[in-house]
């Protein structure tokens, strides 16, 4: 029995792409659904390319109903991966999947986390503060933005003259390198 993974993403989905590639004909895990709040998200196209089903939901559906939980339970999802998903996870979803929801964040938490800290906002703040290093954090999700138990961090150096695009690229390289492997390490732990 493979561990069944669902990915939530709000935008491009380059991390989702790496995860779908990694678990495409993998013996231990498979991506069974991609979910998004954004009907324009490029991640939907990426999922189609892998012939992985998708579900688009509204704010009302996500926060006022149990529809998303029902869908995930119906298809027996074991692990939920937030890969560039920008909405806070509601309590009902956290309770339905305890210790089974993880997130990736483009900084070394607890620095540069919290509401509004996503994507370019994070990198701009890192540069504005003259940091000499930054990195990525993969962590369990709780009811606060970017605060659950840490699973893995990786760092990169910031050189004098590095631009927003450069540090974004360095972070993205680390995300793509580590996220699928960290998920792989969790497969047995979260399986029914």
- Please return the burial class of 34, using the count of CB atoms within 10 Å of its CB with bins 0-12, 13-18 and 19+: buried
Which tokens sit at 157?
Answer: 């150096």
Torsion of CA 169, 171, 176, 179, to 10 degrees: -170
In the shown chain, the binding pattern of residues 81 to 100 toward ligand GAR, with x for contact by CB under 6 A and - for none, equals: --xx----------------
C-beta closer to ligand GAR: residue 52 or 83: 83
Q: Applying CB under 6 A, does 104 fall inside the site for ligand GAR? A: yes
Phi and psi, residue 47, nearest 5°: -60, -45
- Catalytic residue, from 22, 26, 55, 105: name it: 105
C-beta closer to ligand GAR: residue 99 or 172: 172
Cβ(4)–Cβ(30) under 8 Å? yes
Among 2, 54, 90, 119, contact with ligand GAR (rule: CB under 6 A): 119
Instruction: Choose the binding region for ligand GAR from 24-32, 51-59, 67-75, 101-109 (rule: CB under 6 A).
Output: 101-109
In the shown chain, the binding pattern of residues 44 to 83 toward ligand GAR, with x for contact by CB under 6 A and - for none, equals: ---------------------------------------x
Among 62, 118, 156, 178, contact with ligand GAR (rule: CB under 6 A): 118
Asked about 105 being catalytic, the answer comes back as yes
């Amino acid at each position: 029995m493979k561990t069944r993974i669902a990915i939530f993403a709000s935008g491009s989905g380059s991390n989702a792409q790496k995860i779908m590639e990694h678990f495409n004909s993998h013996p231990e895990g498979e991506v069974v659904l991609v979910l998004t709040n954004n009907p324009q998200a490029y991640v939907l196209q990426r999922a189609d390319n892998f012939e992985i089903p998708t579900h688009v939901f509204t704010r009302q559906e996500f926060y006022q109903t149990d529809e998303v939980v029902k869908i995930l339970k119906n298809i027996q999802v074991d692990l939920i991966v937030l890969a560039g998903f920008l909405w806070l996870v509601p309590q009902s979803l956290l309770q339905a999947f305890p210790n089974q929801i993880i997130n990736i964040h483009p900084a070394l938490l607890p620095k540069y986390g919290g509401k509004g800290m996503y994507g370019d906002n994070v990198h701009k703040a890192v540069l504005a503060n003259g940091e000499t290093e930054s990195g990525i954090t993969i962590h369990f999700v709780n009811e606060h933005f970017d605060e659950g138990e840490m699973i893995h961090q990786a760092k990169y150096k910031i050189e004098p003259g590095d631009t927003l695009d450069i540090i974004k690229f360095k972070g993205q390289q680390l995300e793509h390198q580590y996220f699928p492997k960290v998920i792989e390490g969790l497969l047995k732990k979260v399986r029914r």
